[in-house]
Every structure is written in C-alpha cells, then in structure tokens.
Amino acid sequence: MDRPTATDQFHAVIWPLRATVLRTARLLVRDAASADDLAQETLLRAFRSMDRFKSGTDARAWLLAILRNARIDWIRSRARESRDVSLEQLGVDPEDGDEASAEPSWDDPGRMMEAFSDERIIDALQELPEDIRWTLLLVDVEQLDHRDAAIVLGVPVGTVKSRTHRGRAMLRRLLQPVAKEIR
C-alpha cells in the first residue's frame, strides 16, 4: 500500500478542521476580512508543514498552535499597539470571593449563557487580556483538555487551569450587568 502524500494527509486530517480555524480566528480578530486572511495563512502554514505533523496526534491542537503563531506574526507585522494587556499590566486580579453569591444567581449557568447573544459573548471575550482569551477559547470553546491547551499555549497545565478560572470570573463580571437586564 502506498504511503499517503502530504496533500492527501492534509485533505484527510486538516481540511475538515478549517471551520474551527475560521471560527477561532474570527473570535480573535474583529475584522472579518482579517480573520479570513489569518485563517487562510494558518491553513497554508499547516499545508507547508505537513511533513512535520505526526499521525495519531491531535490535529486540532496542532492546527490551533499554528493559528496562535500566525496571529502573533500578524500582530507583529502590523507593528501597532494592541489594546490587549497582560495580567501583570492589568493591575487588578479577578476577585476570588464567593462566586455563588454573585448576582444574578441563576441555578443553571448553561441557561444563563444561552440567554446571551453570540455577539455579546464575543464582545466580552474581546475585552479580556489575550492570554486569558486564548485559554478560554481553547478550553471552553474548542473543548481542549487542559493538557492539550497547555501544549498549544506553551505553558504549564497549572497556568491553563489558573487562567481558565480567572478568565471565567472576569467574563462573569463583564456579563453580569447584561444578565440582570435579561432576568
């Protein structure tokens, strides 16, 4: 049996994940045309790197790591100030108080999230620092486990867990005023 070519492997393994790449790019970049360009660049880089892809590994995590690096290069190439701020520059730490008592206290967080429009959630995600946003996108949107998200981000698993906790708390605070209106 012939060994599949890189093109065959790309079409079989990577191409079905193109919607994931585009969705994630659109969450990271507000301008649809720029997000499309970023997704295209990611897929092109993946195609060029198929010889380095190891069969049996998580193709989605590999592809999202390429997207992350492409976005970093994209930001650098534009040489503009980003409005994203690292946690160290943020100056405040999300409160770790009794989150169960935070208003509004709906019994079902899933129901609460469904009450928000996609646009409102995306707007709230855009307000988060980039490292937190990336973590939430990988863990909560793309459903990667903490270990795989840590590999994509190049950080320890504990950092992913901490960012996930902090990010959810920050997102909760951003969405609470809207939740009060919905209730």
Q: Could you state, in order of their start, the residue ranges of all structural domains in the chain?
A: 6-78, 101-182
pLDDT at position 141 is 85
The 10s digit of each residue's pLDDT in 104-118 is 444 555 565 666 777
Q: Which residue has the higher pLDDT, 69 or 1?
A: 69
Backbone angles phi, psi at 80, to 5 degrees: -120, 160
Average pLDDT in the 43-68 region?
91
Backbone angles phi, psi at 39, to 5 degrees: -65, -45
Helices and strands (H, E) in the chain, number of each type: 10, 0
- Written as one string, the DSSP assignment of 33-53 is HHHHHHHHHHHHHHHHTGGGP
127: helix, strand or coil: coil
pLDDT at position 21 is 94
What is the rounded distance in angstroms from the CA atom of residue 29 to the CA atom of residue 145?
24
Average pLDDT in the 22-31 region?
86
Instruction: Answer whether CATH 1.10.1740.10 is correct for domain 6-78.
Output: yes
* Region 101-182: CATH code: 1.10.10.10
Residue 103 pLDDT > 60, yes or no? no
